[in-house]
Amino acid sequence: MTRLLSMLTKQSTMYKNKLHAMAVLGNLCKVVVSSLKRSLKQVQKELKIIEDKLLALVKEVHQDVLTSLKSIPGIGSKTSLMLVVLTDGFDRFTSGSELCSYAGLTPVIPI
């Protein structure tokens, strides 16, 4: 589900960029703009459906972790959801250093 969310987010960004580029360049074809807007609306609808289903699944198992993460200033619902999913509710790691290494926050200088 997270891979699908990533793909749909990229598609949404692509459609937004294309619409913006057409507006900036003044190269507006009503048929093309209409089609792009419909496609963007459909992608955003699918994004919402998948996010809601993923959130429901996570709440079943990791509601307490999700609530704790959301209480941290600067961490919203999407970030907390993805952290819980990618770390399996932080059960995948036995220590903070393992999590930091997994996230790439502890670079190692090769000798």
CA 87 to each of CA 30, 36, 47, 82, 100: distance values in angstroms, whole numbers, following the listed order = 45, 36, 21, 8, 11
Q: In this predicted model, what pLDDT tens digit does every residue of 9-20 receive, in sequence order?
A: 999 999 999 999
Q: What are phi and psi of 108, to 5 degrees?
A: -120, 130
Give the pLDDT mean for 34-47: 96
Using the Cα atoms of residue 15, residue 55, residue 66 and residue 101 in order, give the sign of their dihedral.
Answer: negative
Give the pLDDT mean for 80-92: 88
Ramachandran class of 89: left when φ > 0, alpha when ψ lies in -120 to 50, beta otherwise:
left
**pLDDT above 70: percentage of residues in the chain:** 100
Residue 83 sits at the vertex; the CA angle it makes with 80 and 89, to the nearest 5 degrees, is 105
Confidence of residue 37 (pLDDT cuts 50, 70, 90): very high
Q: What is the pLDDT of residue 99?
A: 86
Side-chain-facing half-sphere of 63: CA atoms under 13 Å: 3
Q: What is the pLDDT of residue 7?
A: 95
Q: What is the pLDDT of residue 28?
A: 78
Q: What is the pLDDT of residue 74?
A: 92
Which DSSP letter does residue 93 get? -
CA-only gyration radius of the chain, Å = 19
How far apart (Å, rounded) are the C-alpha atoms in residues 47 and 55?
12
